[in-house]
Amino acid sequence: MSDILSILRSYRKKGIKGFALLADPDQLQREDYFDALISGLKDIPCDFMLVGGSLLEQTGFNDSIEKLRQSVSLPLVLFPGSPDQLHPAFDAILFLSLVSGRNPEFLIGQHVAAAPRIKALGLETIATAYMLVDGGKPTTASYISNTFPIPWDKPGIAASTAMAAEMLGMQAVYLDTGSGAARAVSGEMISSVHQACSLPIIVGGGIRDIAAAETAYKAGADLVVIGSLFEKEPQRIADFGRQLRQIIA
């Protein structure tokens, strides 16, 4: 079993840039998407596979995760939307606390319900300060969590939130504009968070091209996560991954 937190910390300490794919569990049940995903992963050195979403519309979550575990050897990290997404096939879970919002259910409530099951499964648990940022339009994450995202042009709020999260003992920061967002987290906000805390910084949401990914890396992102870009065109995974590797090599 990989020590995911140690890997993330080494990225921050050594200036290494990581790349992860985020797969929506519902999309994994599409044969064309799943096959393209597995094919693409054979061609590009992806660091992690994140799986999870704010809302599950299909019923085959467990079957999809078991199939994925049998098909890939890289670490599987759960990016959970609810305790219903727990599964023993994962190597680690980003134990997300929605510190950008004020809904107690997503700050601590659902964590209490999930904790016994997580412990029983023996999953590596990474306490992650999840910061939802305004991506230009409402997203499933903001709707389901019933919270307001951090304004896109207020990097100081994000920096202070990350600072507080580190003081509270969080182990990583995840800046996200949400699946299908119209824009990515700004480089200015990422840079402000990078300067405000020493935690590994994960950035996702709205990254649709190499330029956006490069902006995130240069601003201080340690791990860039890309997901919805490939849902309609999964055949782009391998080519995009190769281009991404060229700029972070």
Beta-bridged to residue 223, according to DSSP, are: 18, 202
What tens digit of pLDDT does each residue of 14-73 get? 999 999 999 999 899 999 889 988 888 887 768 999 999 888 888 889 999 999 999 999
Q: What is the DSSP letter of 29?
A: G
Higher-pLDDT residue of 236 and 3 is 3
DSSP string of 38-100?
Answer: HHHHHHS--SEEEE--S---SS-HHHHHHHHHHH--SPEEE--SSGGG--TT-SEEEEEEETT
The Cα 112–Cα 219 span in angstroms is: 34
Q: How far apart are the first and last CA of the chain?
A: 26
Superfamily of domain 4-248: FMN-linked oxidoreductases (3.20.20.390)
Q: Which of 36-45, 95-104, 196-205 has the least mean pLDDT?
A: 36-45
pLDDT, the chain, mean: 93
Beta-bridged to residue 96, according to DSSP, are: 128
Angle at the Cα of 60 (from 4 to 33), degrees rounded to 5?
70
Largest CA distance in the chain: 44
What tens digit of pLDDT does each residue of 117-145 get? 999 999 999 999 999 999 999 998 999 99
pTM as predicted: 0.96
- pLDDT given for residue 2 in this prediction: 64
- pLDDT given for residue 1 in this prediction: 45
Whether pLDDT at 9 is above 60: yes
Query: Which residues fall within 8 angstroms of residue 13, CB to CB, at 6 or more apart?
Result: none
Task: Tell me the two tokens of residue 15.
Answer: 């200036």
Task: Tell me the two tokens of residue 193.
Answer: 């968070």
Distance from chain centroid for Cα 93: 10
- pLDDT given for residue 78 in this prediction: 97
